C-alpha cells in the first residue's frame, strides 16, 4: 500500500472505509479528530501478506469497542469475549472493504491475515508507523487506525 498510492490517496481511502464500515455495522459515526486513544485500550491487527506488505492496527478505547459491540448485538448485555469476537469480525470486514477499494484503485489483489486482538496498545515488530488516522465518536471516545510499513532492511513477514 505504501508505494502503490500516494499517502494522501491512501489516507482518504482508509478513512472512507473506516467511516462506511463503522456506521453500517455498528451505527457509530466516527469522525477524524485530534484525540488519540488513551487509558483502557484494545488493539486489533491485520497484516497484508499478498499484494501489499503492510500492517493495519485499529487501537480504540475499550468503551468505544464495547458500545460498537452493544449496538451490533442490539443489547447492553455483552461480555468482554463478545467484544473481542465482534471487534475481530468488524476489523476483518473493514480490511475486506479496504482490500476491495485498493483493488478498484490499483488493480492489485490483496490478501490479509486473520485479525489478532490485544488488550492495550500493540505495535507490530519490524514495522514502523507511516501514518495514523485519529477518530472520535463525539462521546469522549476515540480510536486510531495506524498504517505500519516494514522497517527498512527488515523482512516484511
Chain segment 56-106, per-residue pLDDT in tens? 999 999 999 999 999 999 999 999 999 999 999 999 999 999 999 999 998
Give the pLDDT of residue 139: 86
Chain segment 95-145, per-residue pLDDT in tens? 999 999 999 998 888 889 999 999 999 999 889 999 999 999 988 899 999
Query: Three cell numbers at 18?
Result: 473506516
Amino acid at each position: 500500500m505504501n508505494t502503490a498510492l500516494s499517502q494522501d490517496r491512501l489516507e482518504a481511502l482508509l478513512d472512507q472505509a473506516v467511516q462506511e464500515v463503522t456506521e453500517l455495522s455498528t451505527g457509530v459515526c466516527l469522525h477524524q479528530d485530534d484525540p488519540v486513544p488513551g487509558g483502557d485500550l484494545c488493539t486489533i491487527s491485520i497484516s497484508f501478506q499478498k499484494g501489499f506488505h503492510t500492517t493495519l492496527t485499529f487501537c480504540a478505547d475499550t468503551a468505544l469497542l464495547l458500545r460498537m459491540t452493544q449496538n451490533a448485538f442490539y443489547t447492553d448485555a455483552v461480555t468482554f469475549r463478545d467484544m473481542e469476537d465482534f471487534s475481530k469480525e468488524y476489523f476483518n470486514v473493514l480490511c475486506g472493504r479496504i482490500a476491495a477499494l485498493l483493488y478498484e484503485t490499483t488493480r492489485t489483489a490483496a490478501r490479509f491475515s486473520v485479525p489478532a486482538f490485544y488488550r492495550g496498545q500493540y505495535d507490530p515488530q519490524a514495522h514502523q508507523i507511516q501514518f495514523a488516522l485519529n477518530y472520535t465518536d463525539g462521546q469522549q471516545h476515540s480510536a486510531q487506525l495506524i498504517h505500519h510499513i516494514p522497517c527498512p532492511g527488515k523482512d516484511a513477514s
